[in-house]
Amino acid sequence: MSVMEISHRGPEFAQILQASQTRLRQLLAVPPEFHILYMQGGGLALNAAVPLNLSQGKGVDVVVSGSWSHKSLLEAGRYANAQAAADSRQGGAPGWPAPATWKCRADSAYVHFCANETIDGVEAPQWPDLRALGLPSCAVVDASSNILSRAIDWSRLGVVFAGAQKNTGPAGLTLVFVRDDLLGRALPTCPSVWNWASLAQQRSMVNTPPTYAIYIAGLMFEWIAQEGGVAEMERRALERSQRLYACIDASEGFYGNRVEPQARSRMNIPFHLKDPALTDTFVSQAHEAGLLQLKGHQSVGGLRASLYNAMPMSGVLALIDHMNAFARRYG
C-alpha cells in the first residue's frame, strides 16, 4: 500500500509524520517552546488563520514590502484592525523598509512581515528584533518562499509560516511554527480546523492531513540534511543568486533588476530587458534551450528566475550562458 492508501491514524503514518517533524526541528534548530503545526490552505490561508488565532481584538501591524505582504494586510483587515506599519511600494525602487522606520502601535497584537517577496524579488536582509526596536508585540513571518534557505534566530519570533511548494515539497502542506505562549488566543469565529491550540494538542491531526505532501516533505528534509543542512542551502542560494545578479549587472543595461541592492532576493530574481518588446522572444528561445518558467509573474510582467533549494548550479550556469548569447545577438 502507498502512503496515500494507509490510514492517517495508523502507526505507519504516525511514524512518517513524527520523523518529518523531528528532522525539520533539527534542520532549523527549532527550540522546544515552538510547536510545529502542519496545516493546509497555503500561505493565503495563513493570512486569515494568523489574525483569527492571534489578534484578540487588538491592532495588527503589517510591513508592506511587496505584493504578498500587501495581500496579508488586506486579508488581516477582514478580521482585525490592520494597518501598514511601512510600505516600500510607495515610490522608488522595490526594497525592504528599514525596521527603524516602521510605525507600529505599542499595543498591537503582532507585527507581520514577509521574509521574501516572491513576485517583487525583495528579501529581508535580516529578520529584525522587535524588542531591540522597542516594540512589545511579537513578529509573524511569512517565509513561504525562503524557508530552509537560511538559519532562523527563534528568540526574535512568535510565528513563522510557509507554504511547502517552493523549498519543501508538493503544494498542500503549510508549515506553521508557533511559540507555545501564543496558543489559546483564537477568536470564537476561528474555524476549528485552524485553531492552533487544537492543532498542537492533536499533533496536526484535527482532520485528515495532506499525507502525501507530508511524506514527500519528509524526504526533502532528509535530502537537505544529507546535502549539509540549512547552512549548505544558504551557501548555495547565495552562490546561485550572486552569479545571476552579476550577469545582469555586467550586461550594460541590456538586462536590469530594479530592487535595492541590499534587499535583492536570493530566491526569486525578477529582471527585464532594456527593450521589453524582446521579452516573448527571450522566453521562447529559452524554452527551446530547455530553460523553463522564466516568464515574470502575471501581475508585473518581465522575466523572473526562481532559484529554490532544488535548483542545481548547472541550471543557473545554463541560464547565464543563454542570457549572454541572447544579449550578443540582440544587444
- Give the binding site for ligand PMP (CB under 6 A): 42-44, 68, 114, 118, 142, 144-145, 163
Amino acid identity, residue 203?
Answer: R
User: Is-catalytic flag, 58?
Assistant: no
CB of 274: closest distance to ligand PMP in angstroms? Answer: 28
Residue 216 · residue 173 · CB < 8 Å: no
| Cβ atoms within 10 Å, residue 23 | 18
Q: Phi then psi for 138, rounded to 5 degrees?
A: -95, 155
DSSP 272-326: EESSGGGHHHHHHHHHHTT----BPPTTT-SEEEE--TT--HHHHHHHHHHHHHH
Of the pair 114, 157, the CB lying nearest ligand PMP is at: 114
The smaller minimum CB distance to ligand PMP, of residues 39 and 247, is found at 39
Identified catalytic residue from 120, 127, 166, 196 = 166
Q: How far is the CB of 161 from ligand PMP (least distance, A)?
A: 9
Query: C-alpha angle with apex 277: 275 to 282, nearest 5 degrees?
Result: 90
Helices 313-330, 279-288: crossing angle, 10 deg rounding:
130
Among candidate residues 68, 96, 194, 196, the one labeled active-site is 68
**87 classed as catalytic:** no
Inter-residue contact 63 to 42 (CB < 8 Å): no
Distance in Å from the first CA to the final CA of the chain: 57
Helices (H), 166-311: 196-201, 211-227, 229-249, 279-288
| Residue nearer to ligand PMP on the CB measure, 108 or 116 | 116
> What phi and psi values does residue 304 have, to the nearest 5 degrees?
-155, 130
Min dist CB 11 to ligand PMP, Å, is 30
Nearest distance, CB of residue 114 and ligand PMP, angstroms: 5
Active site residue 102: no
Pick the catalytic residue from 61, 142, 194, 196: 142
Look at residues 82, 139, 137, 77 and name the one whose alpha carbon lies nearest to residue 114. 139
The residue among 161, 54, 72 whose CA lies nearest residue 108 is: 54
Indicate the residue whose CB is closest to ligand PMP: 42
- Annotated catalytic residues are 68, 142, 166
